[in-house]
Structure 1
Amino acid sequence: MSDEEWERFLRDAEAGTAGAPVEPSARDREAEGRLRAGPARPEGWRTYTPPERPRRRTGRYAAGLVAAVALLAVALFPQRLLGWFGDGGADAPPLAAETARPSEAPGDETALRGTLAEPFRGSPAARWADGAAGITVPDAKATGWMDAAQVARALRQSRDFLVAAGLDTAVLRGERPTEAIALLNPHQRDVQDYLRTALSGAPTPDTDPLLLFSRFRPEQARLVGDVVRTRGRLTYREGKRGAVEVTADVTFVYPVTPAAGDGADAEVIRTIVRRQIVMNWDDPEKVITKPGTMSLVSYALDLTNGGCDEPTGYFVPPFGAAADDRSTDPSHRVDPYDRTEPLDPGDGTTEPVNGCATATRS
């Protein structure tokens, strides 16, 4: 409204002129508000609207607590929990890499034989990595005469030796381990003498090529598929005369079937080999060596389902009746998947004195 109209309104209201606007009372304002809101809706006798409360996050915190407890349990008792989740088949989740010596053996699996479709079924190896991926290589730091880059190269070549000696398909078929031999110091006379005798076709217990290399007779056994499961690690320290001493402790699981076998029901046996090899990467100013090669310090072998008679230079899986005719020592029982204790290098092998040991599982 204009200023003139506003002033006239104030004068009329003050003078009490008829028709002048009057300010509504509180009761009038309340009644007017109810009329504008419309008729009230009657409340049902069973209805109840609770007051709003802050939303709580108890469920989320509880779930987080359960997850934290589960992760702690897996970290502290990984092997014990392993047996809770099925039979170790093709769908079993993979294990984390081994970075330290385990405190206990893998948990018990459902006793199942391997098949051509699932050669690692019923075995802890069902959750192990394939080939070289199962061999953990630590971070490299300057050690002895080597800087960090040289140590990294030595560790990489140490794993290359394990791959060439235990995973190369040609070597597994019985061929000469040329690539592995190329990584051995040609000036280490005792090792070169061992190689000549071991690969000559007339091995002895002390010169058995199986002490370093994995080999099968093609006419007796063949691998199931092209996957070998492994689990283990490399460690290193400063050795004698400033050398970088690398220790490999790796278990290889080879699923094999008779060479002449065929059909879906063919027998599958797992040959399990644990190797512990100590290698020196020597300072060429202190030890006669060839660049890019290493010297062997010791090597030990633990073998299951690979034969325990006179050495032939090849693993001999006990197929069929041979599995029942083995001469075993019931007092010497071993778990081939137990990696809690180091192998005793001794004279290069850890076979029991009286025939084969009895494996608790395979």
Structure 2
Amino acid sequence: MNALEGTVRPADPDDIDARFEALVAQFDEDEIRRMTAAAESDSFTPGRRRRPAVLVAIAGLIVLVGLVVTMRPDVLDKLRIARSPAGNEDLIVSGPVIARQAPVTTPIPDGEEGLFDHGPVPAPPAGLFAGTPAAGYADGEQGLVMPAARALGGLTREEVGRALSRVRRLLSAAHLDPATVRGERPEEFIRLLHPRQREAFLRRLGDSGPSGTRSWLFSLAPGTAEPAGDVVKVSGETTISKRAGGGVTIEADYLFVHPVSRPGAPSTVTRIVEHHRNEFSAYREDGGLVVWLAADKSAVFGANCTEGDGFVHPRFPDDPQGSRPSGEPADPYDRASGLSGETRCPAALGS
């Protein structure tokens, strides 16, 4: 078996169109009627010679029309529309669709099967955010914009640049890393922490309540939801100022908008808006640069608040009323007021 056998694709329909049009162009309507009448006369009159040329032409025309009906019904639609009276095109377009039989196929080289994906087509990422301010936000890390580095607080421009880069990577690892978002062990975030803070973080990662460190991250509670699509929308800003005692304070204030769906039910989608306001300290210690997460305040909109395990438990439209957040509703897309309440899972305006 050669390389061309075993894989097929639809035959090029243009050859059929060309042959059909070339044959039809040889006859006008009157001539076709005359040939048809002559063929009928020849077929039913004993003793007369047949007109093989006429019959062959008509037979060829019939066979080719049959091919067109089978493989290219749109050609007939074009002919019907061209012959329909002016103003009646809508009647043609709204008619029934002709069911096509399986296409005639011709071989294609091996290795091109991947070009034809017959699986379900996922919803465009923009559609997951349509009708919300998040539609205009940046995608993922593109939204984590850092200010220009400059010498400040006794640190050099290079040191400040390194500190800003570490903050950006920590934010990405905490809120965008796929493993972290799915509720798995946040390896990348752990690796980026200062060794002393890493130890404290790991010690309290499994704790419930305010002492737990899982709430520093966006982690879906295992078995409750999964990301819908591969885009998280991000909006916010990072500012830098001189720190008392030397070094700099870096404040990151960001919204992360996560579309999620029920496991095994991709059509059930909701959006979780998390608002994190982090404060990082960057300073020189024993000749090295330290970047330390000094404070974290957060709010998560669209989640249930009863578990207290640090994981995010998305709230879907048909969830029981008793699991919904309480308190004064806030606009989840307003960074000025989104963290004004005491609860981590406040009610959202319009929800």
TM-score band (shorter)? Answer: 0.5 to 0.7
Distance 1:292 1:147, change over 3 A: closer
Report how many residues are paired: 228
Residue deviations 1:241-262 (CA, integer Å, cap 9, x gap)? 2122111101100000001204
- Does structure 1 conserve the Cα–Cα contact (< 8 Å) formed by 2:304 and 2:324? no
1:305 aligns to what? 302
Structure 1 match to 2:335: 339
**TM-score (ref. length: structure 1):** 0.58
CA distance in 2, matches of 1:359, 1:204: 22
In 1, distance between residues paired with 2:274 and 2:251? Answer: 16
CA distance in 1, matches of 2:175, 2:289: 20
Q: Distance in 2 between matches of 1:309 and 1:197?
A: 19
The DSSP-based 3-state class of the residue aligned with 1:232 is: strand
Query: Pick from 321, 330, 333: which aligns with 1:324?
Result: 321
Write the letter of the residue equivalent to 1:196. R
The one of the two structures with greater contact order (alpha-carbon pairs below 8 A, sep at least 6) is 1
User: In structure 1, what is the equivalent of residue 158 of structure 2?
Assistant: 149
Preserved contact between residue 301 and residue 350 of structure 1 (Cα < 8 Å): no
Q: Which structure is larger by alpha-carbon Rg, 1 or 2?
A: 1
* AA matched with 1:308: C
Does residue 147 of structure 2 align to residue 138 of structure 1?
yes
Partner of residue 196 from structure 1, selected from 180, 199, 203: 203
SS in 2 for 1:282: strand
Q: TM-score, normalised by structure 2?
A: 0.60
Residue 231 (structure 2) aligned to one of 227, 232, 243:
227
8 Å contact kept, 2:315–2:324 = no
Structure 1 Cα separation of the partners of residues 262 and 283 of structure 2: 43
Q: Distance in 2 between matches of 1:132 and 1:350?
A: 28
Partners of 2:153 and 2:246 within 8 A in 1 = yes
Q: State the alpha-carbon separation in 2 of the partners of residues 255 and 222 from structure 1.
A: 9
Asked if 2 retains the 8 angstrom alpha-carbon contact of 1:305 and 1:317, the reply is: yes
Aligned residue runs from structure 1 range 54-133, under 5 A: 116-117=123-124, 118-133=127-142
| Contact 1:145-1:242 at 8 Å conserved across structures | yes
How far apart, in 2, do the equivalents of 1:323 and 1:275 lie?
A: 27
* Residue equivalent to 2:27: none
Query: Identity, % of aligned pairs?
Result: 31
Deviation at 1:208, TM superposition (A): 4.6
Deviations 1:252-298 (A, max 9, x none): 00000001204xxx121101100011011121149xxxx45412221
Inter-CA distance 358–244: structure 2 relative to 1 (3 Å threshold): same
Alignment correspondent of 1:294:
291
- How far is 1:341 from its partner? 4.6
- How far residue 218 of structure 1 moved from its aligned partner, in angstroms, is 4.3
**Is 1:351 matched up with 2:343?**
yes
Shift of 1:302: 1.1
Retained in 2: the 8 A contact 1:336–1:361?
Answer: no
Over the residues paired in the alignment, what is the CA RMSD in angstroms? Answer: 2.4
Contact 1:119 1:255 in 2 (8 A): yes
How far residue 230 of structure 1 moved from its aligned partner, in angstroms, is 0.4
* Cα displacement (A) at 1:343: 4.1
Structure-1 residue corresponding to 2:261: 257
Partner of 2:236, secondary structure, is: strand
Residue 99 of structure 1 corresponds to none
Query: Where does structure 2 lack aligned partners over 5 or more consecutive residues?
Result: 1-121
Give the secondary structure class of the aligned counterpart of 2:183: coil
Structure 1 unaligned regions, length at least 5:
1-114
Q: 1:328 to 1:172 in 2, by over 3 A?
A: closer
Distance 1:315 1:152 in 2: 32
Q: CA-to-partner distance for each residue in 1:172-226, whole Å, 9 max, x for gaps?
A: 11122222222222234xx74343122x3x422331512x111113422111111
- Judging changes above 3 Å, is the alpha-carbon distance between structure 1 residues 234 and 308 closer, same or farther for their aligned structure 2 residues? same
Supply the distance in 2 between the matched residues of 1:358 and 1:204 (Cα, whole angstroms).
Answer: 19
Residue type at the aligned position of 2:349: T
Could you say which residue in structure 1 is the equivalent of 2:189?
180
User: Aligned AA for 2:263?
Assistant: A
For residues 144-168 of structure 1, give each alpha carbon's deviation from its aligned partner in whole angstroms, at most 9, with x where no partner exists: 1211122112111111100011100
Classify 1:208/1:309 alpha carbon distance in 2 versus 1 (closer, same or farther; 3 Å). Answer: farther
One-letter amino acid of the counterpart of residue 139, structure 2:
D
Q: Which amino acid aligns with 2:347?
A: T
